[in-house]
Amino acid sequence: MVRRAIRLVDVKIGMNMLLWGAETRASHIPVIEQLALAGFDGVEISVVGQAEAELQQLRQATQDMGLALTASTFVPPEANPIASDAAIRRNAVDYLKARVDEAVLLGSDILVGGLYQAHKVFSGVGPSEQEWQWSRDCLHQVGEYAALFGLRLGLEFLNRFEVYLVNTAADATALCRDVGLANVGVLYDTHHANIEDPDPAIALPATGDRLIHVHLSESHRGTLGSGQVKWQETFAALRSVEYNGWLTIEAFGTSDPAIVGAANIWRDAFDSPQQLYTDGIAFIRESLAQGI
């Protein structure tokens, strides 16, 4: 029997709202309306403790536009899953469960990010086996809780300048397998892979059956196709593993000091947010069409 390869034209195209700031609020609904008009299938919202009413308002507004929602989050130092302080590790479980609740309120079926350790908190040495076990135990508890709501967790491997526990696709896949839950998978981000996993033909297949989400992000965090990411090789590798999920643009700018500090963004690598997402969705569609 000839196996039918899943075409990348079947994927959904999303836009991460972090381009407009660290916190997505109801005031961003007009921006989301413009994204719907541009042809996006959905938007990704960072859940950071917004009020329940605001999350429900965002959910209703996007539903009215015919858009789907995905959710992302950051992990702060006070909720570090790999802290030596047991109280902080317990807080990490509670913190991530709260983010799960917010993702569910949004109507998302996935919560992604560097969920395994606090962002930009370093020990000065490489990861230890104990830290790996602490992270695994935290993720197992949160993953079991998320499964009650049909929610998946996507572990995003981040570059060495942001975390030290999980830096490659292979690292993220190994942690997912160690957690041992079907709803815990890998988020592949082209920005981080460009630094840590420069050959998509090796990195993407390394995720095996654990790849559940993809961020398309340029090397300088600006307009897709204007930096150093190996886009042709990336799309070819996505086809080879028969990926059929979200392709979500993630870009950062200088409009929000919280983003500037978190992502070390000192200049805008785009003309305007509208130019970035308009050119970005066109770039994705062109790249998808080349593989038909």
Angle at 153 between CA 160 and CA 220, to 5 degrees: 35
CB-hemisphere CA count at 13 Å for 18? 28
| Domain-located, residue 214 | yes
pLDDT at 116: 98
Helix axes 86-106, 129-147, angle to 10 degrees: 30
How many domains are there within the chain?
1
pLDDT at 290: 86
Q: What is the CATH number of the domain that holds 279?
A: 3.20.20.150
| Domain-located, residue 270 | yes
Residues 6+ apart with CB under 8 A from 67: 32, 35, 36, 40, 41, 42, 43
Residues 6+ apart with CB under 8 A from 97: 142, 145
Three-class SS state of 212: strand
pLDDT at 8: 65
Q: Cα separation of 11 and 70, whole Å?
A: 14
pLDDT tens-digit series, residues 222-272: 999 999 999 999 999 999 999 999 999 999 999 999 999 999 999 999 999
| Domain-located, residue 254 | yes
Question: Contact at 8 Å (CB) between 234 and 11?
Answer: no
| Domain-located, residue 219 | yes
pLDDT at 232: 96
pLDDT at 2: 39
| Domain-located, residue 1 | no
pLDDT at 182: 98
| Domain-located, residue 3 | no
The tokens for 244 are: 């059929």
| Domain-located, residue 229 | yes
| Domain-located, residue 259 | yes
pTM assigned to the model: 0.95
What single DSSP character describes residue 7?
P
Residues 6+ apart with CB under 8 A from 193: 157, 169, 200, 203, 234
Start-to-end C-alpha separation, the chain? 21
pLDDT at 9: 56
Q: Cα separation of 153 and 157, whole Å?
A: 13
* Percent of the chain residues past pLDDT 70, beyond the cut: 96
Domain coverage including residue 47: 8-289
Residue stretches of the chain with pLDDT short of 50: 1-6
Q: Which of 16, 19, 29 is nearest to 254 (CA)?
A: 19
pLDDT at 10: 80
